[in-house]
Amino acid sequence: MRFLPNPLRFIPNFKGFDFFPHDLRLPFMSYKGLCLGLSIVGIVLSLLIIGVRGFNYGVDFKGGSMLEVQSKSGPADIAALREKLGKLGLGAVQIQGFGAPSDVLIRVEEQPGGEAAQQAALAKVMTALADQYTQRRIEVVGPAVSSELRLTGIIAVVVGMLAISAYVWFRFEWQFAVGVVLSLAHDVLLVAGIFSLFHLEFDLSIVAALLTILGYSVNDSVVVSDRIRENLRKYKRMDLDELLNLSINETLSRTILTGVTAIVVLISLYIFGGEVIRNFNLAMLLGVVIGTYSSIFIAAPLLGYLGVKREWVGAAVKPAAGSAARKARRENMAFK
C-alpha cells in the first residue's frame, strides 16, 4: 500500500464543533427523588389510563378488517362512504381520511361467527366500493390469529426485557440489572400510556417499536453503567452519589449527541416515511426521548438506592487507563 499516494492527504484537517462544555457537572443526583417521584406518578397515571381507556387496538390485536382505498377520481367523499357502508349491517364501521385527500381508511369490526364471517364481510365491503375506489391495502385478521398475536406481543416485550436484564446481570451486577429492568418497564409503560391517552392505533408494529425502544434505552443505560463501573475502579473512596453523578455527566455529551441523531432521523422518517409507518415512528420517537431520560434519571439513580458493592470491581486495579484497558480487553475476550 506504501507505493500508492495516500488519498487522505487531501482531506482537510479541521476540528469538530465541540458543542458541549466538558467541565459541566450538573447535579443530577440531587434531583433523583424528584425524578423517581415524577416517573412513579407517570407510571401510575399510565396504568390508570390504560386501565380506564384501554388501547385502540388495530386489526392485528382486535380482529376484523382494515381496508385502505383510493378514490378513482377526485377526493374521496367520506360522508357518502359512511352512509353506504353503514347500510351493510356490519356493525361499527370506522372511516377516516388517510394522508392524501383521495385516500380513505376503513375499519370493520370483528364479525361474530368466526373466520369465515370476516371474509364474508370483506367481500361485502369490496362489492360496495368496487365502482368508485381501488384497493390499496387489505388486512383481515380472524379471531384465532388476533388472540394469538396479542399473547405473542405481550410475551415478546416481557421476554425482551428479561433477555436484556439477564445480559446486564451477566455483564455487570444484579443492582444494574434491576435498575435497567425497572427503567425499561418505565419506558414501555409510558409509551403505552401515551398511546392509550391519545387513542393512537396500537398494532403489531407498535410492539416492534417497543422492542426497539428496549434496545435503544438499554443501550443508553449500558453506556452509563459501563462508565460507572470504570469510575468505581478509578475512584475507590468517592461517595456513591457523587460517583454516579460524575459518570452521568461524563457520558452526557455522548448521550445527547446520539439521542439528537436518532431523533433527527426519526423525525425525518415520521414526516416523510409515509402514512403506513407513521405510528411506528411516533412510538419510536417517544421511546427514544423517554429512554434517554430514563437511563439518566432512573437507571443510574436507582443504583444509588440499591447500593453497589465496591469489592466486585476487582481488587488492586491501578486507576491507570492503560491497565484498565488491558483488563477490559481480557474481560472482553473472556466474554467472547
Identify residues 178-217 at the interface with another protein (CB under 8 A). Answer: 204-205, 207-208, 211-212, 214-216
Nine-digit cell at 168? 446486564
Q: Which of residues 280-299 bind another protein (CB under 8 A)?
A: 280-281, 284
Under the criterion CB under 8 A, does residue 266 sit at the interface with another protein? yes
Stretch that binds another protein, among 84-92, 108-116, 190-198, 302-310 (CB under 8 A): 108-116
Q: Which of residues 18-47 bind another protein (CB under 8 A)?
A: 18-19, 22
Residue number with CB closer to another protein (53 or 327): 327
Under the criterion CB under 8 A, does residue 13 sit at the interface with another protein? yes
Under the criterion CB under 8 A, does residue 14 sit at the interface with another protein? yes
Stretch that binds another protein, among 80-88, 185-193, 245-253, 298-306 (CB under 8 A): 245-253
Residue 304 CA, chain-centre distance (Å), reads 25
Q: Which of residues 45-84 bind another protein (CB under 8 A)?
A: 68, 70
Stretch that binds another protein, among 31-39, 84-92, 264-272, 308-316 (CB under 8 A): 264-272
Under the criterion CB under 8 A, does residue 218 sit at the interface with another protein? yes
For the chain, the distance separating the N- and C-terminal CA atoms, rounded to the nearest angstrom, is 32
Under the criterion CB under 8 A, does residue 320 sit at the interface with another protein? no
Residue number with CB closer to another protein (16 or 307): 16
CA distances to 147, 182, 210 from 154, in Å: 11, 17, 11
SS3 79: helix
Q: In which region does residue 297 sit, left (phi positive, over 0), alpha (psi from -120 to 50) or beta (all else)?
A: alpha
Q: Which of residues 142-171 bind another protein (CB under 8 A)?
A: 142, 144-145, 149, 152-153, 155-156, 159-160, 163-164, 167-168, 171
Query: Packing angle between helix 114-129 and helix 143-171, nearest 10 degrees?
Result: 110
Quick one: three-class SS letters along 229-278? HHHHHHCCCCCHHHHHHHHHHHHHHHHHHHHHHHHHHHHHHHHHCCCCCH
Residue type for 168, please?
V
Residue number with CB closer to another protein (41 or 155): 155
Residue 100 Cβ, how far from another protein at the closest point, in Å? 9
Under the criterion CB under 8 A, does residue 1 sit at the interface with another protein? yes
Stretch that binds another protein, among 5-13, 28-36, 81-89, 297-305 (CB under 8 A): 5-13
Residue 308 Cβ, how far from another protein at the closest point, in Å? 17
Element (H, E) at 202: strand 201-202
Residue number with CB closer to another protein (42 or 273): 273
Element (H, E) at 108: strand 100-108
How many residues bind another protein (CB under 8 A)? The answer is 94
Under the criterion CB under 8 A, does residue 262 sit at the interface with another protein? yes
**Binding mask 109-138 vs another protein (x if CB under 8 A, - otherwise)?**
-----xxx-xx--xx--x-------xxxxx
Alpha helices (runs of H) in the chain, residue ranges in sequence order: 32-53, 59-62, 78-86, 114-129, 143-171, 174-197, 204-234, 240-272, 278-294, 300-306, 321-335
Residue type for 288, please?
V
93, 82 Cβ separation under 8 angstroms? yes
